[in-house]
Amino acid sequence: MNSVANFAQPVDAVAPIARDAFRNAMAKMGAAVNIITTDGPAGRAGFAATAVCSVTDSPATLLICLNRTASVFDAVIGNGVICVNVLASAHEDLSNLFGGKTSVDARFAAAEWRQGKSGTPVLCDALVSFECRISAEADIGTHRVLYCTVEEIHDGSDAEALIYFQRAYRRVGG
Amino acid sequence: MNSVANFAQPVDAVAPIARDAFRNAMAKMGAAVNIITTDGPAGRAGFAATAVCSVTDSPATLLICLNRTASVFDAVIGNGVICVNVLASAHEDLSNLFGGKTSVDARFAAAEWRQGKSGTPVLCDALVSFECRISAEADIGTHRVLYCTVEEIHDGSDAEALIYFQRAYRRVGG
């Protein structure tokens, strides 16, 4: 309780956690599957992501974590706007497409979209979609964390959700 | 596609999203339920949280979002170390206890814990637990985002996971 010397200071050197050990452990933290889209001066792009998190409702803000070497990185940063589309259980194939090596055009051809106010593609049958503007950024290790102010919400279907847990798709709710 | 004037600039003033609208929409993004614990000079504390997200595996880092007015805030920041315990489906009552108004002692008395290397309480039957040290912070609206370097992983049971979706507990996997 009294020692300032122990305050948030590592006492001993700590061996770094191996990448595989971290990935295997994180696989046990289930997460919603989303398709994140962007469009604008830097081009159209979209990718599947589970690293999305609510931050605060005042002002309505979420964050996404994006590898700075991802093929979609320049488009996302260049446009400054994204749409987070929360997937339903029926979107398993779409998730695989947006998580693979398929071309941008082939990805978007596999589903129905409408253009949001921000110009981003909104997935017509998502559970819910958040049109967002990137408001702050932080580089952490290999990734950039993008804080995104929500500007528009499109409430969608009440279908079952698509959850990724232990490296497999799961269906919940409905 | 070509106008630099539109590049990441709001064209019109955008009406802020109402808190309830944001919360109702975020309820459709399912998430794992975790109990986050801390102990050290600033005291023992623990709380249930879904706002946890993987950031990068190099170095192994996750983040949590914490309301700056939360009762546990001073303990978490003061200690600088946390343990993220990923809950199994059997932990529904424990989650309610750590998300409610129960005293710290009563919360911890309801489950079995061991002390991690960081001094944080590790839940004995969690799916997996991450002992972490807070390495960076960012204030966003009402919340503080804590970037946490993972120093120790305790792999646990392979039970079903506890997922929160549409304001109800769900069980997945196993």
Q: Where are the domains of chain A?
A: 30-172
If you count residue pairs, one on A and one on B, with CB atoms under 8 Å apart, how many are there?
228
Q: How big is the CA angle at A163 (ends A65 and B47), to the nearest 5 degrees?
A: 70
Which comes out higher in pLDDT, residue B4 or B137? B137
Contacting residues of A for B57, CB less than 8 Å apart: 19, 22-23, 141-142
pTM exceeds 0.90: yes
pLDDT band at B15 (very low <50, low <70, confident <90, very high): confident
CATH class of B35-165: mainly beta
Residue A53: closest CA among A62, A61, A45: A62
Mean pLDDT check: name the lowest of A8-12, A36-40, A65-69. A8-12
pLDDT-derived band at B53, boundaries 50, 70, 90: very high
pLDDT tier, B1 (very low <50, low <70, confident <90, very high otherwise): very low
Q: What confidence category does residue B26 fall into, taking pLDDT thresholds of 50, 70 and 90?
A: very high
Please give the Cα distance from A84 to A49 (Å, whole number): 9
Tokens of A102: 């398929």
By C-alpha distance, the chain B residue nearest A82 is: B8
Minimal Cα–Cα distance from B107 to chain A, Å? 21
> Could you tell me which CATH class the domain A30-172 is placed in?
mainly beta
pLDDT at A5 over 50: no
Find which of A2, A12, A19, A22 to mutate to test the B interface (most B CBs within 10 Å of its CB). Answer: A22
CA distances from A82 to A35, A44, B17 (A): 10, 10, 16
Q: If pLDDT is split at 50, 70 and 90, which confidence band does A6 have?
A: very low
One DSSP character per residue, A129-153 reads: EEEEEEEEEEEETTEEEEEEEEEEE
Residues A170 and A92 sit within 8 Å (Cβ to Cβ): no
3-state secondary structure of B154: strand
State both tokens at A85. Answer: 């589309």
| Cβ-based contacts of B141 with chain A (< 8 Å) | 55-59, 61
Q: Are A43 and B127 inside 8 Å of each other by CB?
A: no
Whether A138 and B138 lie within 8 Å, measured CB to CB = yes
Determine the average pLDDT of the residues in B40-51. Answer: 98
Please give the Cα distance from A123 to A38 (Å, whole number).
Answer: 12
Judged against a pLDDT cut of 60, whether residue B3 lies above it is answered with: no
Residue by residue, what is the 3-state secondary structure of B44-90?
A: CEEEEECCEEEEEECCEEEEEEEECCCCCHHHHHHHCEEEEEECEHH
User: Alpha carbon of B78 to those of A104, A107, B74, B147: distances in Å?
Assistant: 47, 47, 6, 15
Query: In which band, very low, low, confident or very high, does the pLDDT at B174 lie, cut at 50, 70 and 90?
Result: low
Q: Is the pLDDT of residue B88 over 60?
A: yes
B118 contacts in A (CB within 8 Å)?
Answer: none
| Rg over CA atoms, chain A | 18
What's the pLDDT band for B14 if we cut at 50, 70, 90? confident
How far apart, in whole angstroms, are the C-alpha atoms of residue B127 and residue B95?
14
Average pLDDT over chain A, rounded to an integer: 93
Q: In whole angstroms, what is the distance from residue B106 CA to residue B110 CA?
A: 7
Q: What is the mean pLDDT of residues B56-76?
A: 97
Q: What percent of chain A has pLDDT over 90?
A: 91
Taking only the tens place, the pLDDT of each residue in A51-110 is 999 999 999 999 999 999 999 999 999 999 999 999 999 999 999 999 999 999 999 999
CA distance, residue B1 to nearest chain A CA (Å): 4
To test the contact with chain A by mutation, choose from B1, B23, B26, B148 the residue with the greatest count of A C-beta atoms within 10 A, namely B26
Band (B6; pLDDT cuts 50, 70, 90)? very low
Task: Mention every residue, 6+ apart, whose C-beta is less than 8 A from residue B19.
Answer: A57, A58, A60
